[in-house]
Structure formats: structure tokens, C-alpha cells
Amino acid sequence: MKKQFAVIGLGRFGGSIVKELNDLGMEVLAIDINEDKVNEFAPAATHAVMADTTDENALRSLGIRNFDHVIVAIGDNIQSSILTTLMLVEVGVPHITVKAQNDYHEKVLNKIGAHKVVHPERDMGIRIAHNLVSKNVLDYLELSDEYSIVELIAGDRVHNHSLMDLDLRAKYGCNIMAIKRGEDINVSPAADENLKKQDILIVIGADRDITRMEQDLFDDDSD
């Protein structure tokens, strides 16, 4: 059976989630207090309704507890975001993802029982900063304060070397999860796999180890 999603708040963030879920073939209920927003996103959603989700009766009458996953994408109005989240927790929605505006907002959302709190602007800022600092880092995903997954472009220093030669796990404590070469993806590559210039390596490790490895082996193309 298809998963049922509801997205509350149809700003840029909530709106893009609605569109993407719809493109992925999911059932999406789009909700906003503003009628223009509801009309704008009605074509992209399975249903679109106008409601103030801080009103408990309005929320219940939408049958919100029957949804598998509710995304709260109310931004500026932190009070509305918190109240809405609290009621979703109380009615027992199994998965609640909420967009936080700042660290205090995040703290409160975690305390009241949001299952996942996201900071799209902050996270995108971090990713872009990593990409700006080193052009060998294509993408960056923070797993915790210490650990990350990064995409690195292979340059001359690793060209034609096998993973065994480079011994990245022993020397840097980093694991290569996959290698992308053009359209091909080699997941869990074998130790005798030879790297080629322009390969994209998906690496998991501690931030300081990834940085060390990147400076030693992947910095040859930077200006």
C-alpha cells in the first residue's frame, strides 16, 4: 500500500516536498492556512486543504492520525510549529518531521517528541561551505558532530592506484562505500579495484580523518 504523507505549511520547503513526493508517486495531503498557497499546490498534491493546524478540531477533522508521516514545514511562526507538532505527537502520528528555524526551536521540538528535526538552510549552508573550501568535495552529509559521508573526486594522485595500495582504512580510518564512474556505481568496491581520475568516491569516516586523507590524496587539482 502507498504511504500516506501530509505536509503542513506550503512555503518553499514544504511546497518542494509536496511536489517531490507527488513525483515519487506518493499520496500527499497538502495543508496551509493560506488559501492562495492551497490553490497553488492543489495540482501537485493528492488533496489540498485550507486549515489552521494549531486548531485541534481542524487537525482532527483532517484525520491526521491516519497518515504515516506528517511533515511540519511552518517556518517563521515558531509558536504555530510547536503547537502543531505537539498535537501530532498527542494523536500518535507514527512519523513526524519538523523544520526548525533555530537551535532553540530544535530543542523544544525534540523535547515534545518530534521524531526528526531538520534545518534545511543550516545544513545546505554547511554542505555548500565544504564544497567551496575544496573543489574535490562534491557533496557532504553530516552524520554526527564527528562523522560524515563525503563525495570526493579522484585526481592524479590516486589515478591507477588500487584501494589496497592506498590502504585508506588503515592509514586514515576511512571506508570507501562506493565508486561512481560515469553512469556506473560500484557499491562496496573490492580491494583490487583500480581508481581512475574523475571517479567519484563516496567515503565515510571521522571528519578529521577525511580532511587528512583529502589533503594528502585528493588536493592535487585545487587552485
**20, 73 in Cβ contact below 8 A?**
no
Q: Which is nearer to ligand ATP, 48 or 217 (CB)?
A: 48
Residue identified by cell 559521508 is 149
Nearer to ligand ATP, 77 or 194 (CB): 77
Spacing of C-alpha 32 from chain mean position: 23
Task: Please tell me the distance from the alpha carbon of residue 31 to that of residue 117, in angstroms, as a whole number.
Answer: 19
Buried b (16+ CB within 10 A) or exposed e, 180-197: beeeeeeeebeeebebee
Residue number with CB closer to ligand ATP (120 or 173): 120
Site string for ligand ATP, 8-47 (x = CB under 6 A): xxxxxxx----------------xxxx--x----------
Nearer of residues 49 and 138 to ligand ATP, judged by Cβ: 49
Residue 85 sits in the site that holds ligand ATP (CB under 6 A): no
The footprint of ligand ATP (CB under 6 A) covers 8-14, 31-34, 37, 52-54, 73-77, 80
